[in-house]
Amino acid sequence: MICVVCGGVGAARMLAGLVQVVDPSSIVAVVNTGDDTELHGLSISPDLDTITYTLAGAVNPETGWGLAGESWQAMSALERLGGADRTWFRLGDRDLATHLYRTGRLREGAALSEVTAELAAAFGLPVRLLPMSDDPVRTVLGTAGGELSFQEYFVKHRHAVAVQAVRFEGAEAARPAPGVLEAIEQATAIVLAPSNPVVSIGPVLAVPGVAEALAARRADVVGVSPIVGGAALKGPADRLLVELGGEASAAGVARLLSGVLGTLVIDEVDRHLAVEVESAGVRAIVTDTVMSTPARARRLAEAVLAAPAGAGGG
């Protein structure tokens, strides 16, 4: 069994590569829920949905989130009623069905992990998706203008505001969802997807017990750097790393995650950083990491799974 610790779009592409090279039913994805939000009374889990839609071959290929061929009648009608204040977070008509279903089931008392399994089955996924926790954990970003929820920062402000601090509300009291610790303990390989290390991997590590379980398997944990040539392929990971006192480089990622990471796969353009990664106590593997096509995602997945046991014992 392979355990993959996941954020959103980058992780979805990594998983789409992995299912091409191993039996998909042998993959357990542990997914960030710090991005989750409640809007219009609906429970929205963007990273879980991005992964579900991608693996189902149903994701919008232009955005990497939401459904392909989506229509927007509900948003247009809502915009007429409430303006942009109500519609900055765009929910397509078919995507809305996912949130209606999730919200209804949670109100009936189902756990998020149960609803996630139901949605994955409805979309025909062979991969097992687990939210990191059934308890609410919310990523909150501190800015000069006050605190913002993750989606306010990411979508409403288009991540164009400087961040001074990040906290994961609810994390201290959260328990790993059923199956999360078992997946980490029993996996033959553990992959940290090329997700934002601060706001996608960070919340998963903040759930008590998860970082400890990963640290105990550190030699078998292989990450893929989401920073290539000093820049994030998508989103604000590069700026967040710098704003929070780190460095926007593969070496900066290695230093931040060195407690749980045995090996870091870095891009060819960052070959010169391999020595610096290794001086953080993390073995470096250099290959093409940009998953611009399914064939490239497949090659990266092969390289990740071929990685020898990394540094750190355990």
Nearer to ligand FO1, 66 or 170 (CB): 66
> Which range binds ligand FO1 by CB under 6 A, 7-15, 128-136, 171-179, 271-279?
7-15
Question: What SS3 string covers 150-187?
Answer: HHHHHHHCCCCCCCCEEEEECCCCCCECCCHHHHHHHC
DSSP H/E element including 146: strand 146-149
CA pair distance 283, 266, nearest whole angstrom: 10
Dist CA 4 CA 193 (whole Å): 7
Contact mark string toward ligand FO1, 26..65, x via CB under 6 A: ---------x--------x-xx-xx--------------x
Q: Are 102 and 45 in contact (CB under 8 A)?
A: yes
**Residue number with CB closer to ligand FO1 (195 or 263):** 195
Residue 26 is classified by DSSP as G
Cα dihedral 68→73→74→75 (10° resolution): 80
Name the minimum Å distance from CB 100 to ligand FO1: 13
| Residue 113 in tokens | 């992990």
70-109 residues in contact with ligand FO1 (CB under 6 A) are 89-91, 95
Closest distance to ligand FO1 from the beta carbon of 280 (Å): 25
224/62 Cα distance (integer angstroms): 23
Cβ(286)–Cβ(274) below 8 Å: yes
- What residues numbered 108-167 form the site for ligand FO1, per CB under 6 A? 151, 154-155
Pick 51 or 274: Cβ nearer ligand FO1? 51
Interacting residues with ligand FO1 between 244 and 283 (CB under 6 A): none
Using CB under 6 A as the criterion, what x/- string covers residues 197-236 for binding ligand FO1?
Answer: ----------------------------------------
Query: Which of 17, 66, 197, 202 lies at the binding interface for ligand FO1 (CB under 6 A)?
Result: 66
Return the number of the residue (200 or 263) whose C-beta is nearest ligand FO1.
200
Q: What does the block give as tokens for 43?
A: 């429970």
What is the rounded CA–CA span in Å between residue 155 and residue 205? Answer: 24
* Binding-site ranges for ligand FO1 (CB under 6 A): 7-9, 35, 44, 46-47, 49-50, 65-66, 89-91, 95, 151, 154-155
